[in-house]
Structure 1
């Protein structure tokens, strides 16, 4: 079965299911596909985006590397505190106080350079924190 977005020559849009793409072509050629609003048999396929199940597609790692990346994300999120855009200030404060508390967040290039120049141990993460992901 295939679902098509359709429109008639008067511009009315509607959807319908067909046994196959070929079945639609045969029925349309015989004027057997009609607009439910005006009854016109002059119907054509309209532009339509395919439906993609992103919830399941994106929740299952596709490779061993994605599995390891997902495991790293879980570890960071469970063991470190998210400090957002205050990462540079918090990292510097903890370093100066000689406190080893795991944190993660965001910093711009200038802030990163300053932290590295001051000997603050930091490392980039290979993913965006969840609050920054759309």
Structure 2
């Protein structure tokens, strides 16, 4: 395992462990390595000091010779503005789920029926491909995407 000091494009520093250097390179290229503060995937390796064994002593190193580690200051995993945005998204999603009917993949069909007065008007949500959503909008049917929860990615 290799521990890397990493830095995002916003200058946030953090550490992460990887099985190998190649593993870090592959994950970073796929956008899987993200900053825990701002969630950007533009992350590079930072400067690191190598950990080397001492050879200048003729005796084994005892616990008393080891430096006492100092815990780094805690870094919030999510910045306050992002935490508030996530809470608003969660509330929006909970409101839609509680007050609208889930029609699944029938969403484009049901939205058209409601728009053209073929069925009763009601709040609905479901799935539509980007092309289906564009077609609904082109027909003058008001639709909006229900954003996925950021936590759903993990």
Aligning the two structures, in what range does the TM-score lie when normalised by the shorter sequence?
Answer: 0.3 to 0.5
TM-score, normalised to structure 1's length? 0.47
TM-score, normalised to structure 2's length? 0.41
Rg larger in structure? 1
Higher normalized helix content (fraction of residues): 1
